[in-house]
Structures are given as structure tokens and as C-alpha cells.
């Protein structure tokens, strides 16, 4: 699924996170140099906060993942845009 549907390398140094339709479970998959590891989290009462139906995130940072796992809505809280200039006056 990682390779065919998302066009990503499953062996890349990344954590691939999938949220169940009921938003009570997430699975995380990663390659640890000797095989794939699977991590599962099931919420007993709440649901994970997701963006609008059909939306997909290609990449989030570790800090955002931590907030997401804690139940913080990372989809409405956006940091300031990082700026890059070719020259500074």
C-alpha cells in the first residue's frame, strides 16, 4: 500500500501512519533494517481528529505527530510559514 497507492519507499527512514475509518485506531509502520515493525494505538473513548473526509497528509513532523497522538487538532493550528530568501538586505 505504501509503495503502490502513495508512491513512497517503504524502506525509507520514515514512519507511515494510517488512521482507521472509525478514527479510534491508528497503525504506524516502519522499516527497522531487519524487518517491518507495526505499532497500533486504540483509543478507548475518544477519536483521533482528522481533516475533512478524503483529505490526506503526505508529511508531518515528529512534533505534530506527538500532538496528534495526544488529541490536539494539528489541522487548524498552523505555525508561521518558514521563509527562505536568496539574499538578505
Q: pLDDT tens digits for 24-60?
A: 999 999 999 899 999 999 999 888 888 776 555 677 8
Q: What is the rounded average pLDDT for all residues in the chain?
A: 85
* 19 burial type by CB count under 10 A (0-12 exposed, 13-18 middle, 19+ buried): middle
Tell whether pTM > 0.75: no
Task: Supply the pLDDT for residue 55.
Answer: 58
Task: With CA atoms as reference, report the closest residue to 17 among 72, 64, 52, 54.
Answer: 64
* Cβ-defined contacts of 65-70 (< 8 Å, 24+): 65/15, 65/17, 69/26, 69/41
Amino acid at each position: 500500500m505504501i509503495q503502490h497507492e502513495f508512491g513512497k519507499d517503504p524502506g525509507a527512514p520514515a514512519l507511515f501512519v494510517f488512521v482507521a475509518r472509525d478514527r479510534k485506531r491508528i497503525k504506524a509502520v516502519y522499516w527497522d533494517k531487519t524487518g517491518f515493525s507495526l505499532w497500533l494505538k486504540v483509543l478507548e473513548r475518544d477519536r483521533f481528529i482528522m481533516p475533512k473526509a478524503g483529505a490526506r497528509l503526505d508529511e508531518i513532523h515528529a512534533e505534530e505527530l506527538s500532538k496528534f497522538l495526544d488529541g490536539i487538532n494539528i489541522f487548524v493550528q498552523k505555525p508561521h510559514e518558514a521563509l527562505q530568501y536568496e539574499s538578505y538586505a
